[in-house]
Amino acid sequence: MERAYDLVIRGGLLVDGSGGPAREADVAVRNGRIAAVGRIAGFGVEEIDARGLVVTPGFVDIHTHYDGQATWDARMQPSSWHGVTTVVTGNCGVGFAPCAPKDRDRLVRLMEGVEDIPFPVLTEGLPWGWESFPDYLGALEARAFDVDIGTQLPHAALRVFVMGERGVDREPATEADIAAMAAIARGAVEAGALGFSTSRTLNHRASDGRPTPTLTAGEDELTGVALGLKAAGRGVLQAVSDFADPVAEFAMLRRIVEASGRPLSFTLAQSGRAPDGWKTLLAGVEAAVADGLPIKAQVCGRAVGVLFGLELTLNPFSGRPTYRDMAGLSLAEKAARLGDPAVRARLLGETAEPGTPLAGAMLNAWGEMYLMGEQPDYEPTPDLTVAALAAARGLAPEVVALDHMLERGGRGMIYLPFLNYADGSLDPSFAMLSHAHTVPGLSDGGAHVGMISDGSFPTSMLTHWTRDRTRGPRLSLEAVVRMQAADTAAAVGLLDRGRVAVGLRADLNLIDYDNLTLHAPQVAYDLPAGGRRLIQKASGYAATIVAGQVTYRDGEPTGALPGRLVRGARAAPKTLAAE
């Protein structure tokens, strides 16, 4: 019998990414595209019974840092474990192209400091078969992946490439420097970069402590690069900033968009230092959009939080002399030493040595720390802080923390939310997610391998916001799917994906929604040079499909690698435009 389609998915509850009501429908795929949606009489070479499952478009994660991993790995995990079928790299102004050979270690040190990816991992993993940004794209184009990969031109790499040591020292760019950067930016987006990214935050430092080269880049420099994108007639802008003066900083970003006409998105989160500052910035976005300017804020659906543990970059005892003496030991050796009553008593009686990173803030913030359980709670109540638990048990907070970290052979983790949780709830996140001019982002997939595990954002968006939240309003499943598929795709100009509609890419998820579960973070030692990284898995993804090929079944890779480099924006097919 002749088969009309490559694949037919039958009887699932279709949440198509448009935001419209879910409906039962079949989905047929041919040549990597959606060929039909509805009641489908023809058969596929492969048939999947999706009764009892939710069928969604694949998720588009526009804020990742797989710039290095994509050069040595075929699987962009953890993102591809969480229904993501397209990732965008090169965010926050950091990356590895363009790069002259003499500056390789410099860019590695910057990535190490900003995104917590160790120097040995990057030096062993990066093949460095490029110098220009188009050459970097060529290196990626020669590879196959489990997701599609889009790129952005990172400002720090660009600045160092053009200005050398002057760029690292954050000297003002000359007219000639700006013209050179603009020309390279134009060439990068013409070659296939989706856009350009920059960082203006003091949190972004190289591993030697020096601020990112772009921290104080002038408005003339940023505008000049944006005009390079304007000359190409394509490309988006991405920025992260401390917004120390939110009105003045946003006004500058607005002027850059006015001059260039290029769409811009920026990182928006609630900071404990200015708990209502995000509202000021959203008001600025509203005014800009009302004036016809394409500006959006990238927000996330849970707190950005640090994980502490004996296997991780930091823990509450990192700065104490007894712990520092054992920092180079294996996990088993650390756990054994800390099980010795004498060692334990000495450690608990110490304080952090002067100069310990974050010693005065995060490492002793017992009233803001929570014990990470087997089923993570990303909206914990105040009575669950380490301080509250310690008071209830009549113990010192240090004892509660240490006992938890020693569980499971020393693998216990502590969670400290530091953005989006100043109110002790995710109500600010709900308000930001619900805003008309925001898109989900900030997962940082591929980065922060020893401190943060947020590549799982897409799954927690589904479980927490549409099903499990008890501390406030929820979002509809249809809205969340639209947000992290169609909306994110559109934000970077990828209009050929993000919905389940005829003519679009056949990037799909089949989800056992009722049983979808996000598991606790864990540590794997699978990076180059045996490097360690935080990973986080989920169960409930019955299948993930990229370009019509099943890449994962029940969370396990099938071996199919249909993902490729995405060169530039993609228009919507005529069939969709005609709807």
Among 498, 461, 473, smallest CA distance to 576 is for: 498
- The Cα–Cα gap between 101 and 197 comes to 22
How confident is the model over 192-201, as a mean pLDDT? Answer: 98
| Assessment of whether the complete model's pTM goes beyond 0.75 | yes
How confident is the model over 226-240, as a mean pLDDT? Answer: 98
pLDDT at 123: 95
CB-side exposure of 208: number of CA atoms within 13 Å? 10
With cut-offs at 50, 70 and 90, classify the pLDDT of residue 359: very low
What is the CB neighbour count within 10 angstroms for residue 495? 18
pLDDT at 512: 98
CB-side exposure of 73: number of CA atoms within 13 Å? 21
With cut-offs at 50, 70 and 90, classify the pLDDT of residue 354: confident
Cα 42 to Cα 10, 23, 29, 288, 486, distances in angstroms: 11, 20, 11, 49, 28
Please answer whether residues 55 and 11 qualify as being in contact, where contact means their C-beta atoms are separated by less than 8 angstroms: no
To the nearest 10°, the Cα dihedral for 331, 332, 336, 339? 60
SS3 160: helix
CB-side exposure of 322: number of CA atoms within 13 Å? 17
Supply 77's token pair: 């995990």
- The Cα–Cα gap between 487 and 479 comes to 10
Among 71, 67, 58, 1, smallest CA distance to 27 is for: 58
Cα 196 to Cα 86, 516, 538, distances in angstroms: 18, 35, 32
How confident is the model over 26-53, as a mean pLDDT? Answer: 97
- The Cα–Cα gap between 319 and 321 comes to 6
- The Cα–Cα gap between 363 and 302 comes to 21
What is the CB neighbour count within 10 angstroms for residue 427? 16
Supply 505's token pair: 């890419």
With cut-offs at 50, 70 and 90, classify the pLDDT of residue 363: confident
pLDDT at 356: 55
pLDDT at 576: 65
How confident is the model over 237-258, as a mean pLDDT? Answer: 97
| pLDDT tens string 77-112 | 999 999 999 999 999 999 999 999 999 999 999 999
CA 157 to chain centre: 20
Q: Is the pLDDT of residue 562 over 50?
A: yes
Cα 67 to Cα 231, 530, 544, 570, distances in angstroms: 26, 19, 23, 21
Q: Is the pLDDT of residue 316 over 70?
A: yes
- What region, left, alpha or beta, does residue 189 occupy, with left being phi > 0 and alpha being psi -120 to 50 degrees? alpha
Q: Is the pLDDT of residue 233 over 70?
A: yes
User: CB burial class (10 A; 0-12, 13-18, 19+) of residue 52?
Assistant: middle
Using the structure block, give the residue that is written with the tokens 């992260």: 240
Among 39, 88, 15, smallest CA distance to 508 is for: 15
Q: What's the DSSP call for residue 520?
A: P
| pLDDT tens string 436-484 | 999 999 999 999 999 999 999 999 999 999 999 999 999 999 999 999 9
How confident is the model over 341-348, as a mean pLDDT? Answer: 97
Sign of the CA dihedral with 322 first, then 326, 327, and 330 last: negative
- The Cα–Cα gap between 94 and 219 comes to 19
- The Cα–Cα gap between 221 and 219 comes to 5
Strands 148-150 vs 556-557: parallel, antiparallel or unpaired: unpaired
- Domain extents for the chain? 60-302+422-491, 306-419
How confident is the model over 407-428, as a mean pLDDT? Answer: 96
Among 548, 578, 570, 500, smallest CA distance to 36 is for: 500
Using the structure block, give the residue that is written with the tokens 């569980």: 407
pLDDT at 357: 54
| pLDDT tens string 498-532 | 999 999 999 999 999 999 999 999 999 999 999 99
Residues near 390 by beta carbon (within 8 Å), at least 6 away in sequence: 366, 396, 397, 399, 400
- The Cα–Cα gap between 488 and 499 comes to 11
Q: Is the pLDDT of residue 355 over 80?
A: no
Please answer whether residues 439 and 299 qualify as being in contact, where contact means their C-beta atoms are separated by less than 8 angstroms: yes
Please answer whether residues 237 and 155 qualify as being in contact, where contact means their C-beta atoms are separated by less than 8 angstroms: no
| pLDDT tens string 365-394 | 999 999 999 999 999 999 999 999 999 999
Q: What is the residue-wise DSSP string for 104-143?
A: HHHHHHHHHHHH---HHHHHHH-----SSHHHHHHHHHT-
- The Cα–Cα gap between 234 and 495 comes to 14
Residues near 521 by beta carbon (within 8 Å), at least 6 away in sequence: 307, 372, 376, 413, 453, 534, 535, 536
Supply 321's token pair: 């002399």
Among 418, 447, 405, smallest CA distance to 308 is for: 405
- The Cα–Cα gap between 354 and 359 comes to 8
Using the structure block, give the residue that is written with the tokens 């939710």: 54
With cut-offs at 50, 70 and 90, classify the pLDDT of residue 353: confident
- The Cα–Cα gap between 441 and 271 comes to 17
Q: Is the pLDDT of residue 242 over 80?
A: yes
How confident is the model over 568-576, as a mean pLDDT? Answer: 87
What is the CB neighbour count within 10 angstroms for residue 434? 13
Q: What's the DSSP call for residue 205?
A: B
With cut-offs at 50, 70 and 90, classify the pLDDT of residue 204: very high
| pLDDT tens string 536-553 | 999 999 999 999 999 999
SS3 440: strand
Supply 129's token pair: 């078969």
The architecture CATH gives domain 60-302+422-491: Alpha-Beta Barrel (3.20)
Q: What is the residue-wise DSSP string for 183-194?
A: HHHHHHHHHT--
- The Cα–Cα gap between 435 and 430 comes to 9
Which amino acid, 304?
A: V
Q: Is the pLDDT of residue 285 over 80?
A: yes
Cα 321 to Cα 384, 403, 436, distances in angstroms: 29, 19, 50
